[in-house]
Chain A
Amino acid sequence: MADPLTHVFAALADPTRRDLVARLADGDATVGQLADPYEVSVQAISKHLKVLEQAGLVSRAAPGHRSPVHLEADVLDLMTAWVERYRRRAEARYRRLDAVLAEMKEERR
């Protein structure tokens, strides 16, 4: 678990944490505000936030429940960028496949 991307993916492997990230995308919120809609304890939400914090996805100005949690959008962008790079490589491969398929059709004629 050395590289940041692995941490980010692992942190987002949980539906509650994905939901927290989605809500923080709308703006900063305190632990109490974040815990409100869930039927779990503030402590459980704190644990999830700790995982997100360790992955670099969220940050807090100060420790404690009063301090608002902030989403680090740059880290999310990093993940998106890596996935996009993989997609572009796949697209390049499929364009070569397009060319091969076009050649196959030519041969049929």
Chain B
Amino acid sequence: MTLSTATIEADPTVPMIRLRRDFEATPEQLFRAHTDPQLFAKWVGPDGMTTAVDRWDATTGGCWRYVATRDGMDFGFHGCFHEVRPDRIVQTFTWEGEPDGVALETITFEDLGDGRTRLHAQSLCDSFEGRDAMLRSGMEVGMEQGYAKLDALLRTGDV
């Protein structure tokens, strides 16, 4: 089996990010992992963060809010489910650190047969600046990991 990894496309003509990833699961299982709050909190991440779901009504017209916590810092996110159906979830997405910004996210589950599903996730931001901020978000995490690695190298005397 070849390992499937996510592909990305940052559209230069509209402030959009598109992701695509294949899963060894049925569309129904992926739908559950996106709409069951306990399951969703387990994977939404990022690594090293705990996610607490605050509000969750995964139905058309329902709302959601969750808070990701790391080292005592809270990052809140909220939005509304515009449409929830077995093959497609459309929702708004706001990071509360940038409360005026809102993205429209569309997730579709394409049945590939044999228990495999292709996930398409697109985020349409309200400006190029907003999209670029989204691309940048979480960069600090990578930098911290980089510094930690450097620290370790310095301790062992490799540098």
Chain A residues with CB under 8 Å of chain B are 1, 3, 5-6, 9-10, 12-13, 15, 18, 82-87, 89-94, 96-102, 104-105
Contact = CB atoms under 8 A, between A and B. Distances in A.
Given A91-B6, A101-B24, A5 B43 contact: no
Contacts of A3: 132, 136
Contacts of A12: 12
Contact of B129 (A6, A13, A91): A6
A93 B141 CA distance: 14
B95 interface: no
A98 B128 contact: no
Contacts of A101: 23-25, 29-30, 33
Given A1-B129, A87-B19, 19 more contacts: A3-B136, A5-B132, A5-B135, A6-B132, A9-B131, A13-B12, A84-B8, A87-B6, A87-B7, A87-B8, A90-B6, A90-B121, A91-B5, A93-B44, A93-B45, A94-B23, A96-B45, A97-B43, A101-B24
Given A1-B129, A82-B136, A94-B6, A104 B12 contact: no
A92 B45 contact: yes
Contacts of B5: 91
Nearest to B39: A100
26 contacts: A6-B132, A9-B10, A10-B128, A12-B12, A15-B13, A82-B136, A83-B135, A85-B139, A85-B142, A86-B8, A87-B8, A89-B141, A91-B6, A92-B45, A93-B43, A93-B44, A93-B45, A94-B119, A96-B42, A96-B44, A99-B43, A101-B25, A101-B33, A104-B25, A104-B32, A104-B33
Contacts of A104: 25, 29, 32-33, 39
